[in-house]
Structure 1
Amino acid sequence: MSKLFQKTNLKNLDLQNRIVMAPMTRARTSQPGNVPNEMMATYYRQRATAGLIISEATQISDDSQGYSFTPGVYTDEQVKGWQPVTKAAQDQGAAMFCQLWHVGRVSHPTFQQGELPIAPSALAPVETKVWISDNKGNGNMVDCVQPREMTQTDIDRVIKDFAYSAKRAVKAGFNGVEIHGGNGYLIDQFLRTNSNKRTDNYGGTRENRIRFLLEVVDAVIETIGADKVGVRLAPFITFKDMDCPNIVPTILEASKQLQARDIAYMHLSEADWDDAPVIPESFRIELREIFTNTIIVAGSYTQERADEVLSKGYADLVAFGRPFVSNPDLVSRLVNDYELADLDGATLFGGNAHGYIDYPTFNEINRTACN
């Protein structure tokens, strides 16, 4: 049997297989307040044959948002909204972590009460847009603006916001949290020389550029424990104006520090477009030597590629993103080698149940065909 379908462990959690549902923004919260709802509970329940589900990226504060209708986990209403979601997933056998993010400069004054977004440095990301919608779901992609450089007070507050939201996520029923340190968002902006031009203790040297990440991780560990903490990093992803020539050694140094903190896992976000850069095998080997706890990989994986990376020991779990959108029964389809359904890209962000919870399973399609 493929290793992908074998039971395994993640710290103190038993996982029913090595398949992870990757975090994917779907923008279906209830308004006002970006509150998770019953439709979201249905969505995650349908896909809970995965061993681990990582939630869509979730705000830690009012100023951490960059796209319309994305959820938060810092208000009482949001925590209450998440509780049926986590229960729905766990009742079907999946563990569930909450991905926490602050988008930094990938935002707009619309989400900042008219103020500028915050970032390590006052540098606007080139050719980077965010999705802004009205309350009816009619949205447009809008250019990001030049952010405001964070003060020490800003840095201290955001670190506390991560820790507070981690505590709230556990109260909401999540088994743990994933700190989003990749894909061009705030923590990633600190890591990269092209977005971080600071001259204080958070900029310049590699040690300084990883300081913010580690201070966030340490604050979250102190609040909920290292066994409940994962970190997502993206060394080879350069969109959102994040092409940094020094990022790979920076990620490797950060990985050493994360291993020393004995976190639950590292989630390696890989580019998933057609002409994406191929991750060198030498990097996978070096990362595995440095980080011996669980490694999750994500990025257009097929079952064959997943089996390969698992068999070589470069990863312990494999995350699937878009295939889980259109195939709620993805695990069953992979096990039985059934054909995968196509994704309707027009319904990815915002909207209603259409393109969200109405994708049929393979068995439902067959029953309909036979009737």
Structure 2
Amino acid sequence: MNNALFKTIQLGKLTLKNRIVMPPMTRSRASQPGNIANQMMADYYAQRASAGLVIAEGTQISAIGQGYAWTPGIYTPEQIAGWNKVTDAVHANGGAIFAQLWHVGRVTHPENIGGEQPISSSALKAVNVKVFIDNGTDEPGFVDVVEPREMTKADIQQVIGEYRQAALNAIEAGFDGIELHAANGYLINQFIDSEANNRTDEYGGSIENRLRFLSEVVAAMGEAIGVDRVGVRLAPFTSLNGTVDTTPVETYTAAVVMLNTHKVVYIHIAEVDWDDAPETPKAFKSAVREAYQGVLIYAGRYNDKKGALAITDGVTDMVGFGRPFIANPDLPNRIKNGFPLAVHNPDTLFGGTEQGLTDYNEYSPS
């Protein structure tokens, strides 16, 4: 059954060696000052280059787009040079890697953005949401987010320009393409979801209006680097970081239809993955498959058998395995051979050094 995971697939101009995706996971180990990708991160991604596609961790497109301490950016020459180390290392190991471009909007704290007030679709504070700041120790210090200010039309145009430039920067840094982070409650999601957007202009109200910002960002990035190098991540049914939509099936089906008209190279759907979470409705998955003609990726609570079955059944084309990749740098080989999976240490996920990042071993029969 696992053979479906190991068939090659075409992604734009790339031929990927398997259908296993390492999805983006925040690890907060960028070098300070400057939030610069480093050799430790290069080693980490290179160890996992046997994935068909590696999607690097969320990478802020501007200083005000940063949500958490120690996350990498892609808006300065030093940051681009840092990411070059990563992409060179992955390519040297035969891998393909996309950058995930990220603006967190209201999911931040002034401590992380130079004392500025965060920006969002609307002046609505995310409820019961915390982010971590650098509190002078190696441990992340969690604090409540603050109320953002509503973005003006000028702000919207500026951020679209920042996304466009970040896409160009990613290609300069050697990435094979980019994934636009439009999920998990961050800025673009704050425009999409009805309960995070109370605007009364053309960026708020109807589904079409709430999708306008996403559409304009995708158009700008596609014009800059080619839509065959632009993927988009969506999270239709999550309430992460306080974003909720009252009609998620209708909203996100419309989003998929719109993204298909842009001809983005893939859509990456993050399913809810906490224990006892509801399954994504089969009718929605069918609607997505029917509406979208590019490569589909699903991630969330998949194991090898469930992932292979989803590909065989035509629900998806590729499958993301998040947490398993942390402790199993050789995950595709373990899946292929039925080797047991190691379990990651949750205490070393965010911040720190090589421990819990690059010190997990490949499987060795004892």
Given the two structures, how large is their TM-score scaled by the length of structure 2? 0.98
Secondary structure of the 2:231 match is strand
Counterpart in the other structure of 2:190: 189
Q: Which amino acid aligns with 2:217?
A: V
Which residue does 2:89 correspond to in 1? 88
Deviation of 1:308 after TM superposition, in Å, equals 1.4
Which segments of 5 or more consecutive residues in structure 1 lack a partner in the other structure? none
The residue type paired with residue 153 of structure 1 is A
Amino acid at match of 1:292: Q
Instruction: Quote how far apart the aligned CAs of 1:321 are.
Output: 0.6
- The Cα shift of 1:239 comes to 2.3
How far the C-alpha of 1:112 sits from its partner, in A, is 2.5
Conservation of the 8 A alpha-carbon contact between 2:64 and 2:116:
no
Match of 2:335 in 1: 334
* Residue of structure 2 in register with 1:59 after alignment: 60
Partner SS state of residue 179, structure 1:
strand
**One-letter amino acid of the structure 2 residue matched with residue 325 of structure 1:** I
**Cross-structure match for 1:137:** 138
**Equivalence map 1:4-23=2 (5 Å):** 4-23=5-24
Aligned partner of residue 267 in structure 1, secondary structure: strand
Counterparts of 1:63 and 1:91, CA distance in 2: 33
Matches of 1:129 and 1:220, distance apart in 2: 30
Structure-to-structure mapping, 1:38-57, within 5 angstroms: 38-57=39-58
Does the residue aligned with 1:169 lie in a helix, a strand or coil?
Answer: helix
Residue 116 of structure 1 corresponds to 117
Counterparts of 1:300 and 1:135, CA distance in 2: 35
- The match for 1:353 is 354
Amino acid of the structure 1 residue aligned with 2:227: A
Other structure's SS at 2:86 match: helix
1:63 is aligned with what amino acid? Answer: I
**% same residue:** 49
1:243 to partner: Cα distance: 2.4
Question: What amino acid does structure 1 have at the position aligned with 2:143?
Answer: V
SS at match of 2:195: coil
How much does 1:284 deviate? 0.6
Q: Name the CA distance, whole Å, in 1 between partners of 2:344 and 2:113.
A: 33
Distance 1:225 1:12 in 2: 11
Which residue number in structure 1 is paired with residue 199 of structure 2? 198
Asked if the contact 1:230–1:266 (Cα under 8 Å) also holds between the matched residues in 2, the reply is yes
CA-based RMSD of the aligned residues comes to 1.0
Q: Secondary structure at the match of 1:288?
A: helix
The residue number in structure 2 matching 1:215 is 216
Q: For residues 18-57 of structure 1, give each alpha carbon's deviation from its aligned partner in whole angstroms, at most 9, with x where no partner exists.
A: 0000100000110000000000000001000001000000
Q: Distance in 2 between matches of 1:253 and 1:243?
A: 16
Which string of whole-angstrom CA distances, capped at 9 and with x for unpartnered residues, describes residues 145-187 of structure 1?
A: 1111111111010000000000000000000000000000000
Could you say what secondary structure the match of 1:35 adopts?
coil
Helix, strand or coil at the partner of 1:266:
strand
Say whether the 8 Å CA contact 2:109–2:131 is kept in structure 1. yes
Once residues 92 and 135 of structure 1 are traced to their aligned partners in structure 2, the CA distance between those partners, rounded to angstroms, is 36
Q: Distance in 1 between matches of 2:78 and 2:136?
A: 19
TM superposition score normalised by structure 1: 0.97
Which region of structure 1 is more displaced relative to structure 2, 243-252 or 168-177? 243-252
1:115-145 deviation digits (Å, cap 9, x = unpaired): 2100011111111010112454232111111
Name the SS of the counterpart of 1:333 in structure 2: helix
Q: Given residue 79 of structure 1, which amino acid in structure 2 is its aligned partner?
A: I
**SS at 1:339 equivalent:** coil
Tell me, yes or no, if structure 1 residue 299 matches structure 2 residue 320: no
How many residue pairs get matched? 365
1:105 aligned partner = 106
Partner of 1:177, secondary structure, is strand
Amino acid at match of 2:140: G
